[in-house]
Structure 1
Amino acid sequence: MAAEAHSTATLRLSVGDLRIVHPITVPTGPVAAADVVPALQGLVNAVVAAAEAGKAISCRKGCGACCRQLVPISRTEAERLLETVAALPAERRAVLEARFAAAEAALAAADLKERKGRPDRELSTAYFGLGIPCPFLEDESCSIHPDRPLVCREYLVTSPADLCAGPAQEGVTPVPVPKISLAARGLQDESEDWFPLALLMDWAKTRPKGGARRTGPEWIQKFLKGMSRKG
């Protein structure tokens, strides 16, 4: 079978006060939206690198307080994460599935599985108060760090790491990173909304089947248009 063809282009973007020049490689032919997630990860990484330049970042492997925050993900990212989980050995998948089930049960017990019109800030605060570790968290570090969600890449702090565990996040100083990850929401369907990463396996039970297929460049153009709308 012939290898899938890819094309590379250099993006030149103005994101807030940042000027980004970044090569991006995507499949040339029609693919599912999840297939361009690696390219989106690279783009987010480039924006984050520009935003953090010259700053003393205190985030380190082993300080996982932020991995107890509510992590909003899009359908497109969720589909990619399910592929990541499916590629793991059976024993590893079983461990993760048990963690996801425990997180889902904790959210259900706290009546936080459904948003019910709650403001995002209120929901996030209540979620963080439960102290639920991300199912991918191991030894206070992300076990899928190269494949972590886009929004996780955008959260960095310059304040002491131990402050991040405080319930009110007092004294925490995040790096002002443009949240281009928002453009992944509704990439396949503008009526879609985000859901917490901890509910990934629950979402998978009733997730939409099929979905549009576009060329890689077309998906990137759609993402960039989403950036301009949400910027």
Structure 2
Amino acid sequence: MPKPDALKSEAALSWKGELYRKGIHLSSLIIPIGFLLLDPRAVLTGLMGGLLFFALFDILRFFGNDDIKRFMGMNFGFLLRPREKKSFSGATTILLAGLLVYTFYEVKVAAASMVIIVIGDIFAALIGRSFGRIRVFAKTVEGSVAFIISTALAVQFIPGLSLRVAFIGCLVGAIIELLPLPIDDNITVPMIAGGFMQMVLANQQMLQKMIQP
């Protein structure tokens, strides 16, 4: 049985790794910022280039020789959650999600979707790990509340997105993040939250056209 000091040390390393991961995850905000500021060709080039790079990184982790796997594990292993060691990394899935939402949704919805997964995931994880007491599946209610509040504040900076549409996206995103779905939440949260926002926005636009003389 591990000694208490060993358990504390392991927990500290785990927490340090989580902070590193969330710091890197925060840099993913460059994706929605790019959606709003850059032309479509630049956005798609950046997303596809980044996706190709990190997918290649993952393939080397999976199929490289022992020396490559050892190098990857020693230098980058601390950035990966246990479930990511045998699956695609968070960088790969977040870039794939960015490509999907930018392709299928309006720009402001795509940007909101990515803000929701980036900000929501960070606050849900940190608050859940620090203060979470009420567990639902593998997550906490406190983390989900932090997800909703943090994302509801963050999406207010996206121009042209109504409060109603934004809040629905935040609420749906928190629910999807809470559920134990088989697909990575880096993909499911922005895709499903974005889908709901797009539907609500489309209904609003249709009603506006109907009432206009």
Q: TM-score, normalised by structure 1?
A: 0.27
Q: Greater CA radius of gyration, 1 or 2?
A: 2
Higher strand share: 1
Q: Using CA pairs under 8 Å that are at least 6 residues apart, name the structure with larger relative contact order, 1 or 2.
A: 1
Higher helix share: 2
TM-score normalised over the length of structure 2: 0.28
